[in-house]
Homo-oligomer: A and B are copies of this chain.
Amino acid sequence: MYMAELRVPRDPMYVGLVRLVVAQAARLAGVPQDRVEDVKIAVAEALANGSDRDDELGASPPVEVRFGRGTAGFEVTVRGLSQPPPATADDDVVDPAIDQLDPKLRFTLIEGLTDEFSREQDGDLMRLRFVVGVT
């Protein structure tokens, strides 16, 4: 079970890079091309988790991505800041200019695109793990 690990600053600039490297690793691990597309989106969603926090970027811990062929298939774990708790139950508080979907949709997407998905809160951090089958 060989795992690679990538640690990048919490900055949208790096999201494309992470997508690229995890997609390539998925291909090497034997994930078929249409599922590689699923991996790319799932990775993007996992990295976007917490991206709506207004913490200073520089002050944030880096995002950690572990990936590689595991026993269940191609496994990815993303550890980073979790999304902020909803400020209030009133939906109207969300600024419509922000154009964001319900952040929970990110989990719906990861779940819909992968074969196995779990998440774990750890204080301010969240660990998202998903698996896509290999041929």
Interface residues of A (CB under 8 A from B): 2-9, 11, 13-14, 16-17, 20-21, 24-25, 28, 62
**A24 contacts which chain B residues (CB < 8 A)?**
16-17, 20-21
A41-B7 Cα distance, complex, nearest whole Å: 23
Contacts of A4 in B (CB 8 A): 6-9, 14, 17
Could you pull out 6 A-B pairs where Cβ atoms are within 8 angstroms? A5-B5, A5-B6, A6-B7, A17-B24, A20-B21, A20-B24
Most buried by B among A4, A9, A14: A4
Residue of B nearest to A20 (CB): B24
A105–B86 Cα distance when bound, in Å, is 58
Which residues of chain B have C-beta atoms less than 8 A from A17's C-beta?
4, 21, 24-25, 28
